[in-house]
Amino acid sequence: MKVIHFAEAESYEAQKDWKRVSLCNETGVSVEYFVKPPRHASPLHRHPQAQVTVVVRGRMVVRTEADGEAVLEEGDAAFFAADEPHVVTNLLDETSAGIDIFAPGRPFDFWLKRTVPTS
């Protein structure tokens, strides 16, 4: 067994006030807790891992090019297939939070190493 205490877990800000905390970082699966600032949207992105996003607090919208948009309330989840381009947006004027689960595991520094095109 491996126990990860939230207060001691590795964390960083992917963008201002967009916080990520590594709850599990194994080869087969990784789990990240995230806090999204008001009205924040992740850049459109993809990765080779399948992903499940669970809304823990607040209200978010998920969008894919193929399926359009869906609103997620607290407790709702969305599945993104591997390599499926997607965006997750906080719909509120207050902070929202969620859990991202990746299979197989994704490197925790994904957002630190990712370069976002400027045009």
Tell me the residue range of the domain where 88 lies: 17-106
pLDDT tens, residue by residue, 42-82: 999 999 999 999 999 999 999 999 999 999 999 999 999 99
* Residue 21 resides in a domain: yes
- Domain assignment present for 5: no
Residue 118 lies in a domain: no
101 in any annotated domain: yes
| Residue 23 CB contacts under 8 Å (≥ 6 apart), including other chains | 4, 6, 9, 31, 32, 33, 99
Nearest to 78 by CA among 92, 64, 58: 64
Examine the pLDDT at 119 and tell me if it is beyond 50: no
Does the pLDDT of residue 31 top 50, yes or no?
A: yes
Please tell me the total count of domains within the chain.
1
Q: What is the CATH number of the domain that holds 42?
A: 2.60.120.10
Q: How confident is the model at residue 114 (pLDDT cuts 50, 70, 90)?
A: confident
- Model-level pTM? 0.93
Evaluate whether residue 100 is within a structural domain. yes
